[in-house]
Amino acid sequence: MNLSSGKGSTSSSPLKTGEAVSDQFPAGLRVMVVDDDSTCLRILERMLSVCLYEVTKCKRAEVALSLLRENKNGFDIVLSDVHMPDMDGFKLLEHIGLEMDLPVIMMSADDGKSVVMKGVTHGACDYLIKPVRIEALKNIWQHVIRKRKNGLKDVEQSGSVEEGDRLLKGCDDGDYSSSVNEGRGSKKRRDEEEEGDERDDSSTLKKPRVVWSVELHQQFMAAVNQLGIDKAVPKKILELMNVPGLTRENVASHLQKYRLYLRRLSGVSQQQGNLNNSFISSQDATFGATSINGIHLQTLAVAGQLPAQSLAKLQAAALGRTTAKAGVSMPLSDQKNIFSFENPRLRFAEGSLHHLSNSKPINLLHGIPTNMEPKQLVNLHQSTQTLGNLNMRVNAPAAQNNPLLMQMAQSQPRGQMLSENADSHVARFPSSLVQPTVQNGISNGVLGNRITGTSNLTTAYNTVPQNSSLLSFPMSQTNEMSVDSFPLRSPPGITSIPTKGIFHEQGTSGIKGPGGFVPSYDMFNELHHQKSHDWDLTNTGITYDSSQHANPLQGNVDVSPSVLVHQGFPCMQQSVQTRDATSIGKPLFSTGEGIHPGNHQNVGQHLNNLVGNSVRVKAETFHDPSSQINNLFSDQYGQEDLVTAFLKQQEGVGPSDNELDFDGYSLDNIPV
Amino acid sequence: MEVDQMQRQYLDYTKPLFLEGFLDGQFLQLQQLQDENNPDFVAEVVSLFFEDSERLLNDLTFSLEQKSIDFKKIDAHVHQLKGSSSSIGAQRVKNCCIAFRNFCEEQNIDACLSCLQQVKQEYCHVKNKLETLIRLEQQIVAAGGSIPTMEFSF
């Protein structure tokens, strides 16, 4: 049921609608249940019907996935068995997370700790032990609400961001992760601390987003394939696609997302090494790419590679919405061939992409907003290679085209980085760098719901080819590929502080001054230190840790409270946290990657999966960040009927509890 | 036979099944899911269970007869049988599966074979019981009565 069709209607009488909705809710919740066991499937179907949910049952995961893809907004939550013959439940979980960002509950007769843990790390909202009792099913709606809430919250945040606020501030991880992408739901990232001050917004004009429809994506894919994955630069892709109204920025951001996805899928161990190299070669001012979204231009500027002016422009661009049609989440249904489990192809792509990232920093710049001067472009070029992944939050000035940042952020390497990061490193990054931007859907995605921070970092890394001094990934610091390569590690030479100065210079450009920067950084550190933070916190904002923690695999892998394990399993937060990445990564790879405990690369890879999976790497969805927000929002309104209305009602009631706290942003602020 | 006689007969037959551990609370849950709009729910689920189980048992038999035994596959089958038997409340079958899985892990062929025998036996038992139970239920309903809910102090 669609209770509201848009902001307007929502705001008109939210309470009223909400009340009406809440009376019925959660009745009508659209549940998809997947289980190869007919007996269990039938029983679950019946139980869910008794709970007044709308049930769709599937025996096969592939069928379920295609149903979900065809009907992106047709389901609210998915229940899936773990052991299925045609596809591993965790893999399905991963796909759903990437493509649709729906809450997924895993089920199994297996109550072994490792399996449950795997569910957690892959990002399942919950884990039910069979036989499932109806009482357990009665409460599954909470996961839907939670996700929506987080998503809305992020959107709101994003809105404010776009309005220019926290550019310099580390802002919140929440923005990153949740924001646009899937729109729904990343974990609650809003970190109050990070959000701290809002900056005035300057400009972001909201541009209509490009919706990456199936057809459009197919054209994109055709162009990419024709060019060859390593030669696929946005400009050429755009030309080949020949779609009127599509801009280079749109393509670039989409390409970034795609690459990210590929990288993540193929795991990145070998690339990590390369990335490390390339990163290391960048200047000392390596910032370890924080989240894609959030790389501070300042940082770049500091590195000396980015002239202040460019920085300002970039920032402006980053903030701005991308070109009008920024693509909203792209339906991935047609990407099956890509995403599917075609490893060989991915590997190839991976290899070439890797190559690409190492040797072709240039293409990242294609998305540079047109308002940038050529000279700046040149300047940016070098530094922006790294920027590619950086999502520069531009605070100010014109912000219209975020595309640059977004695109850059969305480079594929991100995916790679995702894999690398996985964890604590993410937290290290100064919040300033991380700046969750709504714009970069991918980065948000990357940040994901779960391990947002990590994902951002990884992404950022990817895009930073050789010279971006700014994006020095921590990798340079350590020899080990694995964790060290995670962008989260702050490179030795770089700290956020220097950027501060630069910021000042750019005052006029609208970039937030150091004030913003520093606090965010502080906040970031703070976040980082707060072990108790859940995923959201660590992930979202934290990609750049300029100096702090050298310990790569620190577990910032907090499991957010929302990832509950059914039947009383403890929230893994603390325990996960301290565990090193290896152990975390391990359970992820039961599907066969074979982690070697000592093998960092694998760990990285696993972590990637960890991140990707659990985080629901938004990157995968290839959303254009800016458009995502809008899109996200309208999607939510359109489809989410009950949930949205319910949430709205909650909001109307006031932030009485944490979950419903919108941080002062009303839903109206969310751009639609 | 009068309805209440049938109902008493039904209870006399069914209660011991629970007390002896053939069926557990999960089966009661299934019965509660049945209503006027879904009058054959239990029967339907039970027959699905029979189909799945027989197939799994055949697969298990086949796998254990091989020269080189694939324990992983066997474990997967047993796991599935465990899942469906627990969902339907066939407690003894489920317990057998648990033991079976342990032996699979140990790769103890003989123990596995003996477990398989046990599982088959338990399955046959519960199948008979369930068939009778459902027949009794259908009799009651056909006679216009309602299936009595069991009261246990579990």
Chain A nearest C-alpha distance from B118 (Å): 20
Chain B nearest C-alpha distance from A82 (Å): 11
Q: Is A37 left (phi over 0), alpha (psi -120 to 50) or beta?
A: beta
Return the amino acid letter for A334: D
A526 close to B (CB below 8 A): no
d(CA A125, CA A371) in angstroms, rounded, equals 43
Per-residue pLDDT at A30 exceeds 60: yes
What is the predicted pLDDT for the residue at A147?
A: 85
What is the predicted pLDDT for the residue at A488?
A: 39
Alpha-carbon A318 to chain mean position:
16
ipTM of the complex: 0.94
Per-residue pLDDT at B114 exceeds 90: yes
| For testing contact with chain A, the best of B55, B80, B93 (most A CBs within 10 A) | B80
A109 close to B (CB below 8 A): yes
Per-residue pLDDT at B106 exceeds 80: yes
What is the predicted pLDDT for the residue at B133?
A: 94
pLDDT digits (tens, 9 = 90+) for A134-167: 999 998 999 988 888 887 776 666 554 444 444 4
**B87 to each of A7, A108, A294, A500, how far by Cα in Å?**
44, 11, 48, 61
Q: How many residue contacts between A and B have a Cβ separation below 8 Å? A: 56
> Do A508 and A158 meet the contact criterion of CB atoms below 8 Å apart?
no
> Do A108 and B83 meet the contact criterion of CB atoms below 8 Å apart?
yes
| A39 closest CB neighbour out of B41, B79, B88 | B88
What is the predicted pLDDT for the residue at A644?
A: 54
Return the amino acid letter for A294: G
CB-neighbour burial class of residue A649 (10 A; exposed 0-12, middle 13-18, buried 19+): buried
pTM of this prediction? 0.44
State the angle between helix axes of A113-122 and A89-99 in degrees (0 to 180), rounded to the nearest 10. Answer: 20
∠ Cα A616 A182 A142 (to 5°): 75
Tokens 């407690």 found at: B91
d(CA A384, CA A316) in angstroms, rounded, equals 14
d(CA A466, CA A599) in angstroms, rounded, equals 25
| For testing contact with chain B, the best of A43, A53, A57 (most B CBs within 10 A) | A43
Where does the pLDDT of residue A22 fall: very low under 50, low under 70, confident under 90, or very high at 90 and above?
A: low
d(CA A475, CA A490) in angstroms, rounded, equals 8
**A510 to each of A291, A507, A625, how far by Cα in Å?**
21, 6, 21
| Mean pLDDT (chain B, rounded) | 91
pLDDT digits (tens, 9 = 90+) for B37-90: 888 999 999 999 999 999 999 999 999 998 898 999 999 999 999 999 999 999
Return the amino acid letter for A320: G
Helix/strand/coil for B35? strand
A47 close to B (CB below 8 A): yes
| A39 closest CB neighbour out of B33, B76, B87 | B87
Higher pLDDT, A487 or B25: B25
pLDDT digits (tens, 9 = 90+) for A618-629: 434 344 444 444
Smallest CA-to-CA distance from A546 within A417, A625, A430, A427 is with A430
A86 close to B (CB below 8 A): no
Chain A nearest C-alpha distance from B17 (Å): 19
Q: What is the DSSP string of B117-154?
A: HHHHHHHHHHHHHHHHHHHHHHHHHHTT--PPPP----
What is the predicted pLDDT for the residue at A225?
A: 86
